[in-house]
Amino acid sequence: MVVRLIAVFVLLFPVACSYRSGGFRVDVMNPAAPLYDEGINAYRRGELERAIKAFKDIVEYYPTNDLADEALYMLANCYLEEGDYVNAYAYFKLYLARFPTGPKYDEVLKRVKELEKKLKEGDHGGSGDSDNSTGNR
């Protein structure tokens, strides 16, 4: 009986750990992975509101997850693509605060400086009101 259970485990473990959806490999053992996959797929289809929701859920509910830095980066990029400089700036700043050694730190710092310049010039993009409920920490 034990041998049979081990055999089933060995055969099914790889299937339980990952699946392919839309060409992206997602680790289903990571609770944030399906949300990240949903966000990336929505972003690539141009469904920015749906992508924003998925990435926000990761940032809010899984802030220490391995995907949190990438989700926060993508969230800011969604707002940037929408032309919402206020929220893009807020989320890029949050990335800098939460992930000072993150892989995209230098790129994010550059974008923050570009957005600071636009915001100082009065260009708020598509929105003047920030909905950044996580705030700058």
Question: From residue 116, how far is each of 23, 24, 55, 123 by CA, in Å?
Answer: 36, 34, 23, 10
In angstroms, the CA 59 to CA 45 distance is: 21
Residue 21 has pLDDT above 50, yes or no: no
Residue 2: both structure tokens together: 């034990």
Q: Look at 7 and 83; give whichever has higher pLDDT.
A: 83
Residue 3 has pLDDT above 70, yes or no: no
**Tens digit of pLDDT for each residue in 38-69?**
999 999 999 999 999 999 999 999 999 999 99
Residue 26: both structure tokens together: 């997602």
- Give φ, ψ of 67 to 5 degrees: -95, 0
Write down the domain spans for the chain: 14-120
Maximum pairwise Cα distance, the chain: 72
In angstroms, the CA 63 to CA 137 distance is: 13
**Tens digit of pLDDT for each residue in 66-116?**
999 999 999 999 999 999 999 999 999 999 999 999 999 999 999 999 999
In CATH, the number for domain 14-120 is 1.25.40.10
